[in-house]
Chain A
Amino acid sequence: MKQWNWRLISTHAILIVGVIFMSLPVWVAFATSTHSAEHILRNGLQFWPGSELLKTYNEVLFVDGGVMKSVLGTTMLKNSLILGFGFAIGKVIVSMLAAYAIVYFRFKLAVPLFWIIFMTLLLPLEVRIIPSYEVMASLGLLDTHFGLIVPLIASATGTFFFRQFFRSVPDELLEAARLDGATAWGFFIDILVPLSKTMIAAILIIMFVVGWNQYLWPLIMTTKEENYTLVIGIKQIYQILAEGGELPQYQKAFALTILATLPPVLVVLVFQNWFVKGLVESEK
């Protein structure tokens, strides 16, 4: 009994240390963001919340010139959400359709095509960033949401996941649907999409976080401040801090950072159940 207690205590001690280690930086960032710039400049990082919470966040989100020269925090938040969701939804749609074609339409090139798609994993965006930029620039799509999202949505991983999933769907379902007069499109929409919903949720979450955290591509693609995403905004504001000149607005930089972490956390919390189901359950 005694031994068991010690075990419990030591296990939990380790867990608690882990939790503190992981969450302390986030907490410090949040606590610091609630103090005034002068206070931070004089006393350094803060471990306890101060009195400037509403003022700081209000300025960052809603006051013109509060954080950047001309762009509001809400605008950057909106841009980030568009990028995150556009990226995730686009990837899901494109990779589902690609997997559908590869698995169900047994055309001759299906297998080689699949492996070609798979090989693009070896060519991440960073490798092809200059040609991609060139294409978007010559199409006049710089500084547009469309140009920001479309070059990113082809997804080998997504295609691979959906391919594996579709292959596990029993053939009899397709045959029953064919006898029931379903068209190719009908089978996809009426049967496959509802069957894959946990899978879709899982991929949506992963891809949303990846899209949200995109840095290099939006940095290159956007030139106007009004198109900045939060991640770019954070980089810009820290650059201003580094360049100096005026009183560094550390609290605003931290506030922006906190704001940038919130949406992915929310998405994960909301879709968590589906996410786990999508990974472990085969609902057939």
Chain B
Amino acid sequence: MSKVQLTNVKKTYPNGAVAVRGVDMEIQSGEFIVFVGPSGCGKSTLLRMVAGLESITDGQIMIDDQLMNDISPADRDVAMVFQNYALYPHMTVRGNMSYGLKNRGMPKEEINQRVSDAAKMLRIGDFLDRQPNELSGGQRQRVAMGRAIVREPKVFLFDEPLSNLDAKLRVQMRIEIKRLQRRMNVTSIYVTHDQTEAMTLADRLAVINDGKIEQMGTPIDLYNDPATLFVASFIGSPQVNLLPATFDGQHLISGDVKLTGFTDLPVSTDLVLGIRPDELHLDDGGQFPMRVDIVEQHGSDNLIYGGILGAMNEGEEETEFCFKAGQDMLPDLESTLMLGFNAERAMVFSKDSGERLR
């Protein structure tokens, strides 16, 4: 039961590289927060600063209203799960899990109790006397989590813990992590570059770009109501369709395509229109003529990719759109579909600043 508070946290490396440019965040007790962003955006650095593995250049990190800036990682009462597990290769699973407790001078019986409880929870009880190199990737991941759980820390930190696993196992472990966190109700921070992982795990999601938080909120808020172009294009799979456009007072214009239903937009600035693939629908009177290029059948639904005829293109051949349709929808290649959309649900961004215009 602990809250974590970041106030204007900054990180500049000695070589002058700026990794984190001032982050403010308040994490409530028991909350599951996910940092998501492209690689090199500073999300891991921020996590490692909370852990105490990176020094803080400026700002404050508080855990339970206690200033953590100069407190050593061991005394912060946080536990971390690393991407490559970082298990001690020469120790058994039991040794790996109990090492941190031993260092804290916990009595033997209590260590054994905690290790066997955690092992039961993670279903690794049968492997306690094996060494890490005798375990599969998924099992190692469980051990790494077990090592964090036995500590009963104030905060769990996860640094891309699933990215070394294969796709199927990743989904399985994702659900397990979520379940575990619910059950233990420990404040958690989870770093990933995988937006599906981020959407499914997070209570709240922080999209990080270039060392700053672009937007923070519940996954569905970020999906439905992104504040910037970056968030809109990062969250959501398949990606949001983007169309460069300008506004003439009544229409949103992109090449030969004229779209109605927009008002109150700045005239003669470069804009970008964003429409989610599932917001498009077949409509004989629709405003987008799309030449079908590829149809991907995903089972329950089909993703239809194609170029919008006549739309403004920026150096590329055509503005490519993705249209999410049901499994019955199988248009011929090179045929033309007329697509409509609901202007209320479309998003318009300023091209230069990336700000959402409402």
Contacts and interface: CB of A to CB of B under 8 A. Distances in A.
A195 B90 contact: yes
B347 to A, nearest CB: 40
A186 B102 CA distance: 11
Interface of B: 51-53, 72-74, 78-80, 82-84, 86-90, 99-100, 103-104, 147
Contacts of B87: 176
A284 B82 contact: no
A173 B90 CA distance: 12
Interface string A157-193: 0000000000000101101111111110010001100
Contact of B86 (A176, A181, A195, A283): A176
A194 B99 contact: no
A172 to B, nearest CB: 4
Contacts of A186: 103
A178 B74 contact: yes
Given A178-B74, A179-B51, A179-B74, A172 B103 contact: no
Given A178-B53, A283-B89, 13 more contacts: A172-B82, A173-B88, A175-B82, A176-B86, A176-B87, A177-B88, A179-B79, A180-B74, A181-B100, A190-B88, A191-B90, A195-B90, A284-B89
**Residue of A173, A180, A181 most packed against chain B (CB within 10 A):** A180
13 contacts: A172-B83, A172-B84, A173-B88, A175-B73, A176-B82, A178-B53, A179-B73, A179-B74, A179-B80, A180-B103, A182-B74, A182-B103, A191-B88
- List the 10 closest pairs (A to B, CB-CB), nearest first: A180-B100, A172-B86, A181-B74, A181-B103, A176-B86, A194-B90, A172-B82, A178-B73, A179-B73, A175-B53
Contacts of B103: 180-183, 186
A177 to B, nearest CB: 8
Q: Is the interface of A mostly helix, strand, loop or mixed?
A: helix
A284 B133 CA distance: 9
A137 B127 CA distance: 59
A180 B90 contact: no
B84 A170 contact: yes
Contacts of B52: 178-179
B86 A173 contact: yes
A171 to B, nearest CB: 9
B344 to A, nearest CB: 48
Contacts of B74: 178-182
Nearest to B153: A179
A92 to B, nearest CB: 18
A186 B103 CA distance: 9
A21 B52 CA distance: 63
Contacts of A179: 51-53, 73-74, 78-80, 100
B84 A182 contact: no
Contacts of A194: 90
A263 to B, nearest CB: 30
Contacts of B99: 177, 180, 182, 190
Contacts of A173: 86, 88
Contacts of B78: 179
Contacts of A195: 89-90
Nearest to B157: A179
A176 B89 contact: no
B80 A175 contact: yes
Contacts of B72: 178
Nearest to B133: A283
Contacts of A176: 80, 82, 86-88, 147
Interface in A184-224: 186, 190-191, 194-195
Nearest to A283: B89
B53 to A, nearest CB: 5
A195 B91 CA distance: 10
B132 to A, nearest CB: 11
Contacts of A191: 88, 90
Contacts of B86: 170, 172-173, 175-176
Contacts of B82: 172, 175-176
B131 to A, nearest CB: 11
Contacts of B89: 195, 283-284
A202 B147 CA distance: 33
B135 to A, nearest CB: 15
A126 B147 CA distance: 53
Contacts of B73: 175, 178-179
B151 to A, nearest CB: 8
Given A194-B90, A195-B90, A181 B104 contact: yes
Nearest to B98: A180
Interface string A69-82: 00000000000000
A172 B52 CA distance: 13
A183 B74 CA distance: 9
**Residue of A170, A190, A194 most packed against chain B (CB within 10 A):** A190
A186 B74 CA distance: 13
Contacts of B51: 175, 179
Interface in A30-74: none
